[in-house]
Structure formats: C-alpha cells, structure tokens
Amino acid sequence: MNNKKGKDSITVDQFKEGFQNFQRVFHNAVDPVLLISGERLLNCNDAAVAMLEAENRVDVLSMHPSEISPVDQPDGENSFDKANRMIHLALKNGFHRFEWVHKKMTGELFSVEVSLTVIELGGQEVLHALWKDLTVQKNIEESLRTALHKAESANQVKNRFLSQMSHELRTPLNAILGFAQLLEMESDDHFNDDQKEYVQEILRGGRCLLDMVNELLDLSGLETDTAELQLGDVPVQKLISDSLKTIEQRQNLSDTLSLIVEPIAEDIDFIYADFNRTRQILVNLISNAIKCTGGKGEIVISCRKMPDGMLRISIKNAGVSALFSRQKDLFQPSYKVKSNDASADVAGAGLAISRSLVKLMSGRIGHVISEKSGSTFWVELPLIVTSNQHKKFSGEGGSKAADLAVEGKVLYIEDNLVNAALMKNFFSGSDQITYLWAEDAEDGIEIARRELPDLILLDIHLPGINGWEALKILKSMPETTDVPVVAISAGSEDEDIAKGKAAGFTYYLGKPVDFDKLTEIINSVFEQVFKV
C-alpha cells in the first residue's frame, strides 16, 4: 500500500493547527465577526456579543439575523425577507457588502456595514460576516440632515421676511418716487435750478433705495431657484442705450467722467437673453466701474463676437488697484469694493446677482484686473444671426407720462390714500382721461359695472376681497369681462409677474410705479381697445 502523501495534502495535525489559528483570529478580532450557516448564526466572537449587549454567546447562537434586527429595515423591506436575500446573494457571488440596522438585546438600534464572505469550514460552505460600526457616521449624517433642515427653515423665514419687507418698503417708496416724478414734470415751469437739483437728488436717492430692495429680493429668488426669465431676441444697441439711461437716472454723474460706447459692428444686432435682466447686469457692472474710478476718467463699453458664437460686452475702466488683491471675493454677496473715493463703495450683491443671472441665461461672466492699468468686466451671451425679417423688440420707445395720446376712462382700485392721490395727480395732466377711483374691491367692482371703464388699474393687496379675487369677479361679469386689467403691486418679483399673467392680468406693474412705463402701457392698451 502506497502511503506517500500528495504534495497538496495536509496532516491531521496541520488541519487542527490551522483551525486553532482561525479560532484564535476569529475570537480575538477587534471588530464583530459572526459565522452564518443555513440562515442561522453558527458562531460569533466576543466583540459581536459586546456590540449586541448580550450576556454571552449562547444568547445569540442559532438566531436568524432578523431576530436581532427591527421588523423592517430603513428602506421599508421586512428584515427577515431582506436578510435571506442578502445571504443568498453572498452565497451566489462569493461576497456581498451592504448596510444593515441591528437591534441590541436592550432594544436599541444601531447601524453596521456588513461584509459577507463565503468560506469553507469543516467541509461545508459558511458565511463569514464582518460588522463595521456605522453609529458615529450615521450620527454625523443625522446631525447634518438636522442642520440642513434648520438652515432651509431659516432660509424660508428669511425669504418670507424679505418678501414682506419688500411690500412694506415699496409702499412709502411709491409715494416718494411718485410725487418726485410729478415734481420733475412741473420743474421747468415752477422751480429754479437749485430746486430742480433737489428733485433729482430725491429721485436718485429713491431709485438707489429701490435698487437695494430689488437686489435683496433677487438674491433671495436666485437662492431658492424661483427666479424666472423672459428669454427672447434682445437688440444690443437698445440694451446698451437703456442701460446708460438707467445709470444717468440713478447717479449724479460728474463732468470729469466719460462713458464711451465704441462703435458696434453692423452684423451685431441681437442676443438671446432676458432684456430686463441683461440690462440689470450691465447697470451693475457700469455702476461698479463708476464707483471704482471715483467718478473720474473714462469708462469704455465695447462689443465683439467670440469664436464660439457668443457676444462679449466689456466694461473697461482704470484706477481699480483696490480690486487686485481680492479678486477671488468679488462675486461674493457680502463683498464691498472700496473705491478711489473713500466715501463710496460698491456692494458685492450686484456682482453676485449678475453672475447668477448670466448662468441662468447660459452665458459667462468674468474679469481681467491689473494693479496698474485698471479692470475690465465682461459678460458673454448667445449672439443671434439676424435675417431680413426680424421681430422688433416690444419694449422699444417709451413715452413721457405727460404724453398720453389716448382718450377714455381709467379706474384705479387702491386702498392707500397716498397712492390714490399720486395717481390722481398723474392723470390730471391729461384732459383726455377720465380718472375714477375706488378704495376697495367691492366699490371698484360696482363702479366698473356702472361706469364701464376702458382700463382698470388694480392693486393686489386690498382689504377684504384682494386683487386676485377681484380679477376673477371682473372677468366673470359680462360688462367687464373684456376690460383690460393691469395689476399694480409691491410684489414685483418674476414669480409674481408670471402668476399675474397666468391669472389674466393684461400687464403687471410693480411699485413704486414708473410713470413712463405706465404711460407706455396705457397707450398700448388703448390702441388695442380702440383698434378698428
């Protein structure tokens, strides 16, 4: 008989020694280790007993994994069914890793990462289960979720506050800017040069405050992804022209400052963007340039086509060494750029808003800053290839408030007496407009039914029946169903405007009322009403 052993054979002593080594490693392991056979716990080490807070190993052996688990796992699957499924996956593939929630003998739950590995023990396949405690990790994740929830809740409170604050600030601003505009209309006939300048200072200060309110709301809307855009074909010449007009209205420009627009190439006509938002971006960039130069020197605005089909609009100025060392902070909402004039600085909110708006319009924004030669801020937006037949931009050609070229009845429904007096003064400049006023929706609806106005100006925030409800009633009445209704409200964010249009308002005008815009709207509406 040949007793020679094969080269792969081991002796009984070697087998016993190997098994003892396995037992030693198994029981002395720092991490919990268990053996599973036939969907039952065959063995476990002291670390597993300690984690389960069992008195001894006997309390755990022969249990199904679901017996030391809650009824269901966090994903809603029954623990018994899921445990069997995990075991079968491990036996099929040789290895399987997953997260699991177990239950201590005290009833306390804890999370582990389970690694199941198929091994051979005593001539049969068993599963070697290694637990990695995830308690600390899960506690951190829960803390982060709680902190995120608190932050989101605080942000919602902040946004509600900003919206309410906007309404509260716009109401007195409406009176300040409104009456200042009326004074401006009469200034040539009644005021000396100093008094005219006082009126301009009131207008500039009021518009500056309005800009600050709008910036806060813009930041809030961009943070919550509620900002909406009206994308379309925007004429570049008009965009730059209107931006400069806005700058002139808002700032007292000195004679030592030159705003230069370089000639625009004939093949540059339109970009695809939101007209008002793009104008806002350019106004922000030009305003920053003015502050950085201290109101002196030259600011050059130029346009050029980029190789990828974008149009780059650049605003270049000198004297901005203060920007050089802090370029990385420029687009932060809280950043302020000190200008050459120590009394003035530039709020970073405008740049932060500009960057977010450009991103929404699939554009790019950037800057090149030199410590000695100044800075250039630029924005790039998609350029449109023009054709012979191109739609004219609908916002072109505003008219003065005193130039109402129409005749008819206008009903204003407004509970604020100052706002009502302001509107009455505005319409008193036209002999062709019959002005009607109602202090609440109930009276307004009755006057509309009786007088049949050609246009209704309707405040949204009315006592009792609000503007939204009043609009529904007006549209449901045969006498007024076709009468154009213009919303006038302190809430003039993009989502408010979109909601207003969806509800059936012909136009949605924000407070403070821009009388040039109101004049344009009235002329446009009346042209449609009386169109033959």
For 3-55, the pLDDT digits (tens) are: 444 445 555 555 455 556 667 778 778 889 999 998 899 999 999 999 999 99
The DSSP element (H or E) to which 204 belongs, if any, is helix 193-223
With 90 as the cut, is the pLDDT of residue 475 above it?
Answer: yes
State residue 124's pLDDT score.
86
As given in the structure block, the two tokens for residue 521 are 């709207």
Name which of 318, 254, 259, 331 is nearest 292 in CA terms. 318
Mean pLDDT of the chain: 81
The DSSP element (H or E) to which 139 belongs, if any, is helix 135-190
| pLDDT tier for residue 397 given thresholds of 50, 70 and 90 | very low
For range 236-252, the mean pLDDT: 86
pLDDT tens-digit series, residues 427-454? 887 878 899 999 999 999 999 999 999 9
As given in the structure block, the two tokens for residue 155 are 């942000």
Does the predicted TM-score (pTM) go above 0.85? no
For range 229-255, the mean pLDDT: 85
As given in the structure block, the two tokens for residue 466 are 């609000």
With 70 as the cut, is the pLDDT of residue 149 above it?
Answer: yes
Distances (CA, A) of 172 to 15, 180, 407, 417: 92, 12, 30, 12
Name which of 303, 295, 344 is nearest 319 in CA terms. 295
Percent of the chain past pLDDT 70, that is, above it, reads 82
Query: Backbone dihedral region of 447: left (phi > 0), alpha (psi from -120 to 50 degrees) or beta?
Result: alpha
| Half-sphere exposure (Cβ direction) of 200: Cα atoms closer than 13 Å | 15
With 80 as the cut, is the pLDDT of residue 375 above it?
Answer: yes
Mention every residue, 6+ apart, whose C-beta is less than 8 A from residue 165: 213, 216
State residue 396's pLDDT score.
39
With 50 as the cut, is the pLDDT of residue 223 above it?
Answer: yes
> C-alpha angle with apex 64: 62 to 68, nearest 5 degrees?
105
Percent of the chain past pLDDT 90, that is, above it, reads 35
| pLDDT tier for residue 361 given thresholds of 50, 70 and 90 | confident
For range 347-362, the mean pLDDT: 79
User: Between these two residues, 245 and 22, which has the higher pLDDT value?
Assistant: 245
For range 157-173, the mean pLDDT: 77
Q: How far is CA 294 from the centre of its chain?
A: 32
Residue whose pair of structure tokens reads 């007292």 in the numeric block: 252
State residue 16's pLDDT score.
55
Residue 180 CA to residue 194 CA, distance in Å, equals 15
